[in-house]
Amino acid sequence: MSFATPLETVDGTIKGPRRAPVQMLAEQVYDDHLSVHDESNAAALGLSGAPIEGPTHFSQFDPIAMELFGDEWFRTGCISSHFSTMVVEGEEVDAMATRSSDQSADITAVKADGATILTGTISVAPHPETALEHRLANGRPAGDLFIVDQLHVGMTSSEARRTSMDLESGNGPLYPFSLASKLEGITERSPWYDSAENPWGRPIVPMEMLSVLANKVGDRMPIRQPSLGLFLDLEVRLEGAPVFVDQEYIVEREVVGLSQSRRVESYWVRSTLTDAASGVHTATVLLHSGVFKESYPDYPKDRL
């Protein structure tokens, strides 16, 4: 096994140990301004603190998924998650999964006080419908939009971009930390991430870092500024093999949905990662991003 994480099973539900995830986006810069992960910006929006980035919680499910699906998790694994409550550094998180079929399980993460942080699914191929496939297919019409109004379903990135991740380099202003520094604070450590001690004989990128790899380079979507956003939903899926450290990939993006709620306008983007050497589609990242209406100064006051 790649993890030493102790697990327990109670009434068919597998649960990992309680963890306190680490905030690593305090210095994140988005379109030349600090993001919602900055304490002062979070406070201005009435949030209880600067939220930890949602994908951080994915690592707590890796040992559980390995227990359910074995090495196949790092070949065709998919974690599909709706975030419902933010976590700030110092808060503790429990992660659990209940098998729903041979290929899938329902997942939940909660705070120590029982508040739900995320719900979703984990699965391996052949995948049943994932949590986000269902949410995207059943979303409400977007209505009038004023921040993401320049987007449209079917919009693609202007060109394919090349991306890679090594151990020591930072990952740009959106992700101002290296893989090595992430591994120092990751909730579930594995030698598979920085050594050849795995079935593939080379380090693999953790599931929680696939969205970093997919989004750290390339055109920014034309979102009106200044405005502040956060992740609402995230799905990452491997398409037959791990994503490798020190391997170059081609990333392409497409807008696949638009929506809004009382406080945010939002957009869904599907990113594909293709191995630059072999041309093989390696991973898919589906990200639903929300932008706070009140963070955009020109938002119509009668619509807030």
288 in a structural domain: yes
Residues 6+ apart with CB under 8 A from 10: none
pLDDT at 65: 98
Q: Tell me whether residue 1 is in a domain.
A: no
31: left (phi over 0), alpha (psi -120 to 50) or beta: left
Tell me, what's the pLDDT at 46?
55
Asked if 35 contacts 29 with a C-beta cutoff of 8 angstroms, the reply is yes
Count how many domains the chain has: 1
Radius of gyration for the alpha carbons in the chain, expressed in angstroms and rounded = 19
Residue 42 confidence (pLDDT): 44
Per DSSP, what are the bridge partners of residue 264? 292
- CB-CB neighbours of 236 under 10 Å: 26
Residue 2 domain flag: no
pLDDT tens sequence for the chain (304 residues): 589 999 999 999 999 999 999 888 765 555 554 444 445 554 455 545 667 899 999 999 999 999 999 999 999 999 999 999 889 888 999 999 999 999 999 999 999 999 999 999 999 999 999 999 999 999 888 999 999 999 999 999 888 899 999 999 998 877 888 999 999 999 999 999 999 999 999 999 999 999 999 998 877 789 999 888 888 999 999 999 999 999 999 999 999 999 999 999 999 999 999 999 999 999 999 999 999 999 999 999 999 9
Gap between the Cα atoms of 167 and 203, Å rounded: 9
pLDDT at position 140 is 84
Asked if residue 84 is part of any domain, the answer here is yes
The sign of the torsion formed by the CA atoms of 300, 301, 302, 304 equals positive
Give me the residues paired with residue 271 across strands: 253, 285
In a domain, 175, yes or no: yes
Whole-prediction pTM value?
Answer: 0.93
pLDDT of residue 119: 98
pLDDT confidence of residue 95? 98
pLDDT of residue 29: 52
User: Kind and range of the H or E element at 101?
Assistant: strand 93-101
- CATH number, domain of 271, equals 3.10.129.10
Is the residue at 167 inside a domain? yes
Segments forming the whole domain that contains residue 119: 8-303
Residue 55 C-beta-side C-alpha neighbours within 13 Å: 24
Let me know: does 106 contact 98? Beta carbons within 8 Å.
Answer: yes
pLDDT of residue 1: 56
Q: Is 3 part of a structural domain of the chain? A: no
Running DSSP on this structure, what letter comes out for residue 54? G
pLDDT at position 39 is 52
